[in-house]
Amino acid sequence: MMMRPAKAALLLAASFLLPFSAHAAGNTAPTNDDDPSINMQGAVVNKILQVLQVRQDLVGDSCYAALKTMHDADAQLSKEESNDRNQDIGVARDVASSAMEDVTTICGADAQTICRTPDPQHPQLAVACHALPHDLSTP
């Protein structure tokens, strides 16, 4: 079981180390990937991360595990993309996409749970919650 500071660091790292910005403006997130489906998934993950960053104390262990897996998959994808002659890029994209789907499902459930209870101590939470897609079970 990870200690809370390590989990908070993982959540923060996920927002900065993914190929998309966790602080994207509007409904899209800039990415450095050529695959539009990865980019669309990234926009959803960004919105989830915005909620989770406000209330890190309410994020479950399974979400942290999914974020770690996604971070690892993204690192592998970046490595494969940097090799011009790599034939494994499709596999790396599939793995990254699958990891992002898991984050959307698992961490999205945490985000929805957090958003069910108004929190006047965190006014930015209402904005982040409003930006969440209604159905996070399918990215």
pLDDT (tens digit per residue) in 97-137: 999 999 999 999 999 999 999 888 999 999 999 999 987 65
Domain membership flag for residue 139:
yes
Determine, yes or no, domain membership for 37: no
- Tell me the residue range of the domain where 69 lies: 47-139
Residue 56 pLDDT class (50, 70, 90 cuts): very high
Count of other CB atoms within 10 angstroms of residue 56:
15
In a domain? residue 83: yes
Sequence-distant (6+) residues with CB within 8 A of 71 are: 10, 13, 14, 17, 18
Does some domain include residue 25? no
46 CA to centre of own chain: 5
The pLDDT, as a whole number, for residue 16 is 44
Q: Is 29 a domain residue?
A: no
Number of domains in the chain: 1
In a domain, 93, yes or no: yes
Question: Residue 7 falls within a domain, yes or no?
Answer: no
- Cα–Cα distance measured from residue 99 to residue 95, given in angstroms and rounded to the nearest whole number: 6
- pTM for the whole structure: 0.76
pLDDT at 32: 57
Computed on alpha carbons and rounded to an integer, the radius of gyration of the chain in Å comes to 15
Mean pLDDT across 44-53: 93
In a domain, 39, yes or no: no
